[in-house]
Amino acid sequence: MTKVAVLLGSLRKESFSKKLAANVAALFPEGYETEVVEIGNLALYNQDFDDENNAPAEYTSFRSKMKEMDAVLFVTPEYNRSVPAVLKNALDVGSRPYGASVWNGKPAAIISQSPGALSAFGANHHLRQSLVFLNMPILQQPEAYIGNVADLLDENGKLKNEGTVQFLQTFVNAFVDLITRYKG
C-alpha cells in the first residue's frame, strides 16, 4: 500500500481545501491510501525544543507519522500572497532536527485553491520554493490552480463540474506516476 499524506493549509472546519482534498482523495487508484495529517496542533517551531531534547509530543507524533508516508499532497489557500503559516510551520517542524528531515526525497504535489480568480498562485509558488530546498521531487505538470472553488462545489462539498473532476483525475494520475518513479 502506498501512503499519501494530505496536508491542508486551512484549519477551518468547512475549508475549501478540506472539501477539495476529499474529492481528490477519491481519485487515487487502488493500492493508494490517503490520510489527512493534522498540523494545526503543532506549536510554532523553536529549535531550542530539539537542541534541549524537549520536543513537544505533537512534534514527535507528526514526524513519526510523516516518516511512514510515501508522498505528500498539499492542498492550500493563499494568505497574503503566500503560504499559510500553519503549513510553513509543519514544513519547519518536519525538517528538523538538522539532518533528520522527514521530507527528504518524498514526492510532492500541490493544489492551490481560492474563492477568487487568482487560484492562490502565490501560495503555490512560495510552497514550491520550500519543497525544492527540502529535496522533495514536485509534480511539475499539470499545475493545479483551482479558482472560484465555491462555485465548483455542491451543498455537500462534492465537485459538480465534470471538467474539474477530469482535470483533477489527470493531476492525480501524473502524481501517481511521479510517486511510482521515486518509490521504485
The answer on pLDDT for 184 being more than 90 is: no
Counting Cβ atoms within 10 Å, is residue 8 exposed (0-12), middle (13-18) or buried (19+)?
Answer: buried
Consecutive H or E run containing 71: strand 71-76
State pTM to two decimals: 0.97
The answer on pLDDT for 67 being more than 90 is: yes
Please give the grid coordinates belonging to residue 127. 510552497
- Predicted local distance difference test score (pLDDT) of residue 119: 86
- Predicted local distance difference test score (pLDDT) of residue 125: 95
Please give the grid coordinates belonging to residue 79. 494568505
Residue 113 · residue 73 · CB < 8 Å: no
In the chain, how many domains are there? 1
Q: What is the pLDDT of residues 140-176, one digit of tens each?
A: 999 999 999 999 999 999 999 999 999 999 999 999 9
CATH number of the CATH domain containing 30: 3.40.50.360
What percent of the chain stands above pLDDT 90?
96
Q: What is the pLDDT of residues 75-86, one digit of tens each?
A: 999 999 999 999
Using DSSP's 3-state secondary structure scheme, residue 69 falls into: coil
- Predicted local distance difference test score (pLDDT) of residue 132: 97
Parallel, antiparallel, or unpaired for β 144-146 and 71-76? Answer: unpaired
The range of the structural domain enclosing residue 48 comes to 2-183
Comparing CA positions, the residue from 31, 59, 62, 61 lying closest to residue 45 is 59
Residues 93-109, mean pLDDT to the nearest whole number: 97
